[in-house]
Amino acid sequence: MIRRDDLGAPVPLVGPPRRVVSLVPSLTETIASVAPGRLVGATDYCVHPEELAVRRIGGSKYPMVDEVLDLSPDLVVANGEESRPQDVERLREHGIPVWVTAAPATVPEALESLRRLLDEVFDTPPPAWWQHASTQWQDIPPIRARVVVPVWRKPWIVLGPDTFAGDVLRRMGLANACVDLVDEATSTDERRYPRPSLERLRGLFTDTAADLLVLPDEPYAFHAADGPEAFPDVAYALISGRHLTWHGPSLATARSVLAAPIDDALAAAGLTDPA
- The pTM (predicted TM-score) of the whole model is 0.94
Name the domain count of the chain. Answer: 2
The pair phi, psi for residue 233, each rounded to 5°, is 65, 20
| CATH number, position 104 | 3.40.50.1980
pLDDT-wise least confident of 85-89, 165-169, 185-189, 208-212: 185-189
Final residue of a structural domain among 126, 153, 176: 126
Per-residue model confidence as pLDDT tens digits over 127-179? 999 999 999 999 999 999 999 999 999 999 999 999 999 999 999 999 999 99
Mean pLDDT of 44-56: 95
Q: Hey, how many other C-beta atoms are within 10 angstroms of the C-beta on 106? A: 18
How many alpha carbons fall within 13 Å on the CB side of residue 177?
24
User: Looking at the predicted structure, is the pLDDT value of residue 275 above 90?
Assistant: no
Cβ atoms of 103 and 81 within 8 Å: the answer is yes
Widest CA span in the chain: 59
For residue 225, the enclosing domain spans 145-268
Q: Is 179 helix (H, G, I), strand (E, B) or coil?
A: helix
Q: Which pLDDT score, from 0 to 100, does residue 274 have? A: 45
Tell me the Cα Rg of the chain: 19
Whether 133 maps to a domain, the answer reads no
Whether 63 maps to a domain, the answer reads yes
The answer on 121 and 7 residing in a single domain is: yes
**What distance in Å separates the CA atoms of residue 81 and residue 73, rounded to the nearest whole number?**
22
